[in-house]
Amino acid sequence: MSRLRVAVVGATGLAGQQFLTALADHPRFDVAVLAASSRSAGKRYEDAIRAASGASQWFCTEPLAPEFAQKTVELADDLDASSVDLVFTALESDVARTLEARYAEHVPVLSTASAYRYEQDVPVLIPGVNPHQLPLLRVQQQKRGWKGFIAPNPNCTTVGLAMSLAPLYERFGVESVIMTSMQGVSGAGRSPGVIALDIIDNVVPYIAAEEDKVEAETTKILGRLVDERLEPAPFRVSATCTRVPVLESHTESVTVGLGRAVSLDEVRAAWDEWGREFVSLGHATSPRRLITYLDDPYRPQPRLDRLAEDGMTTSIGRLRADSVLEHGIKYVLVSHNTKMGAAKGVVLMAEELVRLGYIG
Ligand SMILES: NC(=O)c1ccc[n+]([C@@H]2O[C@H](COP(=O)([O-])OP(=O)(O)OC[C@H]3O[C@@H](n4cnc5c(N)ncnc54)[C@H](OP(=O)(O)O)[C@@H]3O)[C@@H](O)[C@H]2O)c1
């Protein structure tokens, strides 16, 4: 099977670097174009990610693949999307707003940005969680007259939360959700990023616009597709998002009011059995489990658990009954923000869209 030609736009940023890591030696995708801003355009990739001091700003723990290091970065504005089969974007929202629509006229665009997440004809996709919303991509193409489409993933904080709620919502119903996040600094990207002097020995109790995103996206992802429109799931989410001195991964303390009385064993079974069909497809970047439950009461922890299944599983622990919400349970989760929460999760989504005939 020949590989599809892909472009990575925003390739020099944190999420862009995770795209390159997920796409190195990929069996189905061949990275034909790397693109970024005028700051990087025309430079070899390894030079584009060098700070003024000369230090490389390669962030991933995996080494930069030599074929990408030597590639010349193109200007995202000039990208001829019709020269590739698929575009992955890792851009700030304002830039994404213009460029993604331009590319989607020609080819599918899979994005980590929030620019289109809240539009009626745009599903917010998590692999294995909301395949029932995929037909909305065809509606979007028809409505906008595009050959391609825009398919964004959620905010990185939403990913672990929606993953943990999906089996609960499907089996028991969900009435209400209260979530407090403790988010890693890589979630802020390089620009503007988080200053070390502000975050070391500290917790920052506010992340601009994050709570609204988590609240709106969670119910959209778990919503139903009715007459070519998405009806959000009918429960409320209350989020408090904080930044903590952790490099990668987001930890979330979650309290859920379920739709009926349920034993903790039933909750465990719902998580254990979730996503088996999806992972059995054996996609190149798929974890073996979408959710991993840990019995150790001191887990999950960012340092110990973020790289489980190479950052592609949501690790959950500390399941207890909650006496404040009706039919309440509470738990803690850890989800990798730049792997499943961003680029690698988007690559997994692309693998599934190829299988289903939406791409290629
Ligand atoms: N970091 C995470 O954990 C995470 C998780 C989920 C989603 N996201 C989302 O992913 C997107 C990128 O985030 P990030 O953390 O990777 O940000 P970042 O590290 O600041 O990188 C931004 C990228 O956008 C490029 N860019 C900036 N202005 C541009 C322009 N005018 N034209 C073309 N390219 C331009 C930059 O290129 P230059 O280097 O040339 O300036 C760089 O490649 C955001 O929408 C973010 O919300 C991030």
- Predicted model pTM: 0.97
pLDDT at 340 over 90: yes
**Within this chain, do residues 236 and 313 fall inside the same structural domain, yes or no?**
yes
Please choose, from the candidates 121, 116, 117, the residue with its C-alpha nearest in 3D space to the C-alpha of residue 98: 116
**Within this chain, do residues 41 and 25 fall inside the same structural domain, yes or no?**
yes
Element housing 252 (H / E): strand 250-258
pLDDT tens-digit map of 174-205: 999 999 999 999 999 887 899 999 999 999 99
pLDDT at 1 over 80: no
Mean pLDDT of the chain: 97
Tell me the pLDDT band of 6, cut-offs 50, 70 and 90: very high
Phi, psi for residue 302 in degrees, rounded to 5 = -55, -50
pLDDT at 217 over 80: yes
Q: How far is the CA of 36 from the centre of ligand 1 (A)?
A: 9
Mean per-residue pLDDT, 137-160: 98
Rounded distance between C-alpha atoms, residue 329 and residue 20, angstroms: 39
**Within this chain, do residues 209 and 349 fall inside the same structural domain, yes or no?**
no
Ligand 1 pocket by C-beta < 6 Å: which residues? 10-16, 36-37, 39-40, 76, 90-93, 95, 112-113, 156, 186-187, 189-191, 337-338, 341-342
Protein residue with its CA nearest to atom 32 in ligand 1 = 37
Three-class secondary structure of residue 305 per DSSP: helix
Q: What is the CATH number of the domain that holds 319?
A: 3.30.360.10
Mean per-residue pLDDT, 90-106: 97
Three-class secondary structure of residue 5 per DSSP: strand
Clarify whether 250 is annotated catalytic.
Answer: yes
**Within this chain, do residues 331 and 350 fall inside the same structural domain, yes or no?**
no
- Indicate whether 262 belongs to any domain: yes
Residues 6+ apart with CB under 8 A from 14: 59, 90, 186, 189, 190, 338
**Within this chain, do residues 141 and 203 fall inside the same structural domain, yes or no?**
no
- Indicate whether 360 belongs to any domain: no
- Indicate whether 230 belongs to any domain: yes
**Within this chain, do residues 21 and 136 fall inside the same structural domain, yes or no?**
yes
**Within this chain, do residues 238 and 305 fall inside the same structural domain, yes or no?**
yes
**Within this chain, do residues 87 and 193 fall inside the same structural domain, yes or no?**
no
User: What is the percent of the chain where pLDDT is above 90?
Assistant: 98
CB-count burial class (<10 Å; 0-12, 13-18, 19+) for 92? middle
**Within this chain, do residues 187 and 331 fall inside the same structural domain, yes or no?**
yes
- Binning the chain into helix, strand and coil, the percentages to the nearest 5 are 35, 25, 45
Structural domain range at position 167: 156-335
